[in-house]
């Protein structure tokens, strides 16, 4: 008896060549619907599923392969005499290879793109992989044909690999359907009935490649993406430099997000260990980079640079004087790119703007911590939404102070807590990050500012629990402060600001980041 292959695919790329190759090897092809029509039209001998089952398709194609003549042939354990007898008694021929992929549910989610027969076939073949090959990825067509030509059959190792891929394929498919259901109300309207944190979460991730190493050289690292989704990393163009490590990706992600949080004017960020050590807005991107680098030139060594404008030759010439791990920008002028490529180890990325995930996820023992993503509220013009902000001091901020306060608030929301950010002329001049108490964060920021914060602004990601938390900002010459408020001693902190002639704004919203 000739071996039989059941071919039923939505993505028909390469299926004709696969079918011809199987026929040349003496295989019988069974197929249904559009796949059968395509093969017949290309002159490939094919038997319709309806001829095998004796039952024509019904319910508009919802039922085609759901029949014992198909699933008995797929699921029979050839080493079990009872199974073999069942097949013989019912006149069912075994199926040795199943090739199937599913309706593209994520392309246009809806009831009619929920595949039933396809996943059932795929799972049946994968369950019985000791005897049946299952192929869901067109990229496997050539290797499978090559192995069949060379050896006459698929090895246990290959069938096992293909079965794993098949279950991953159906798992990703089901996960996409669950996520779609979470967006619906019972009447089918897209209202997000399950809320931002549904009762179950189903992630389907695919590895895009391994990294040089993890956080440390003895750790392994890789990047994964959601199945069926793409992010800016998938569209980024790498113009030069060595392979990326885990921390390179982590820090570059943080830098790229921050530079897109700071407004539409020419902006540069220098990132180190996922915290900015510099951020600035200026008249052009070279000036913005120079100002961002000047915030903390010591920490900028070995950092990540992100800018929201094409890199110019003037900026590139400044950058080549500093050891930098990665630069990411929307574009590069040709002479700037040539200049940067002279630094052989510098990773040069050209990328589209990032998007924001709906959820943030971290591992804990036995599960995950999940929260909605912390984003700054914006008004229709793209500025910060000041709804709920209150000036609580005797003096209100000047226009220049408002500009610095907003810039400082944007930066502080992306710095590890506890943090104090000092800004002058929309340039960060001192950043105290990740301290266990706010007073030390303020002292660190003031020390780094080294006199450059006079007349500038201070942002605190959470309230000042004591008035001494404000002392460093006062000593640094800051004239305006922005903070959430809500401490028991708010009155004391406000009084300290009034004594110093400062303006203080309470936002009513904190931005812790751990």
Residues identified as active-site: 127, 273
DSSP state of 297: T
Burial class (CB in 10 A: 0-12, 13-18, 19+), 501: exposed
**Could you tell me the two tokens for 270?**
């220098």
**What is the β-pairing status of strands 222-226 and 237-240?**
unpaired
Contact 392, 485 (CB under 8 A): yes
Would strands 303-307 and 267-272 be described as parallel, antiparallel, or unpaired?
Answer: antiparallel
- Euclidean distance between CA atoms 285 and 271, whole angstroms: 16
CA-based R_g, the chain, Å: 30
Counting other chains too, the contacts that 207-215 makes at CB distance below 8 Å and 24 or more residues apart are 208/233, 208/234, 211/243, 211/244, 211/245, 211/246, 211/249, 212/242, 212/243, 212/244, 212/245, 212/246, 213/245, 213/246, 214/245, 214/246, 215/246, 215/247
**CA torsion, points 405, 408, 410, 411, in degrees to nearest 10?**
180
| CA atoms of 345 and 425, how far apart (whole Å) | 34
Contact yes or no for 513/413 (Cβ under 8 A): yes
Is residue 251 within 8 Å of residue 304, measured between CB atoms?
yes
């Amino acid at each position: 008896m000739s071996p039989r292959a059941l071919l039923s695919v939505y993505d028909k790329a390469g299926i004709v060549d696969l079918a011809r190759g199987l026929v040349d090897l003496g295989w019988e092809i069974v197929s249904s619907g559009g796949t059968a029509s395509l093969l017949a039209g290309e002159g490939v001998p094919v038997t319709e599923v309806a001829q095998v089952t004796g039952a024509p398709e019904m319910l508009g194609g919802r039922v085609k392969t759901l029949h014992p003549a198909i699933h008995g042939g797929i699921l029979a354990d050839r080493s079990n005499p009872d199974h073999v007898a069942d097949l013989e008694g019912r006149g069912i021929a075994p199926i040795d290879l199943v090739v199937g992929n599913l309706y593209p549910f994520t392309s246009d989610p809806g009831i009619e793109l929920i595949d039933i027969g396809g996943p059932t076939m795929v799972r049946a073949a994968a369950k019985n992989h000791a005897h049946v090959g299952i192929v869901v990825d067109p990229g496997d067509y050539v290797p499978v044909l090559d192995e069949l030509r060379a050896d006459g059959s698929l090895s246990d190792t290959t069938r096992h690999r293909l079965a794993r891929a098949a279950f991953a394929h159906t798992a990703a498919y089901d996960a996409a359907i669950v996520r779609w259901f979470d967006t619906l109300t019972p009447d089918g309207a897209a209202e997000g009935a399950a809320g931002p944190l549904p009762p179950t979460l189903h992630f389907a991730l695919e590895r895009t490649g391994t990294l040089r190493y993890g956080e440390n050289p003895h750790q392994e690292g890789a990047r994964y993406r959601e199945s069926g989704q793409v992010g800016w990393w998938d569209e980024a163009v790498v113009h030069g430099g060595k392979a990326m490590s885990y921390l390179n990706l982590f820090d570059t992600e943080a830098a790229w997000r921050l530079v897109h949080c700071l407004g539409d004017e020419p902006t540069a960020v220098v990132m180190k260990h996922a915290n900015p050590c510099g951020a600035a807005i200026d008249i052009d991107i070279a000036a913005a980079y120079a100002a961002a680098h000047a915030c903390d030139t010591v920490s900028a060594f070995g950092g990540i640079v992100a800018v929201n404008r094409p890199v110019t030759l003037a900026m590139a010439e400044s950058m080549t004087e500093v050891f930098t791990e990665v630069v990411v920008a929307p574009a590069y002028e040709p002479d700037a790119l040539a200049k940067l490529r002279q630094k052989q180890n510098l990773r040069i990325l050209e990328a589209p703007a990032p998007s924001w995930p709906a959820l943030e996820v971290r591992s804990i023992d036995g599960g995950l911590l999940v929260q909605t993503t912390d984003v700054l509220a914006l008004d229709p013009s793209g500025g910060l939404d000041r709804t709920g902000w209150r000036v609580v001091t005797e003096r209100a901020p000047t226009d220049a102070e408002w500009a610095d306060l907003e810039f400082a608030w944007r930066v502080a929301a992306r710095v590890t807590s506890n943090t104090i950010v000092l800004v002058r002329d929309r340039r960060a001049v001192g950043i105290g990050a990740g301290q266990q108490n706010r007073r030390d964060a303020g002292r660190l920021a003031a020390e780094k500012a080294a006199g450059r914060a006079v007349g500038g602004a201070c942002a605190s990601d959470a309230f000042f629990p004591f008035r001494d938390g404000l002392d460093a900002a006062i000593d640094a010459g800051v004239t305006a402060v922005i903070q959430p408020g809500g401490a028991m001693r708010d009155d004391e902190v406000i009084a300290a600001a009034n004594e110093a002639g400062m303006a203080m704004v309470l936002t009513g919203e904190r931005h812790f980041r751990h």
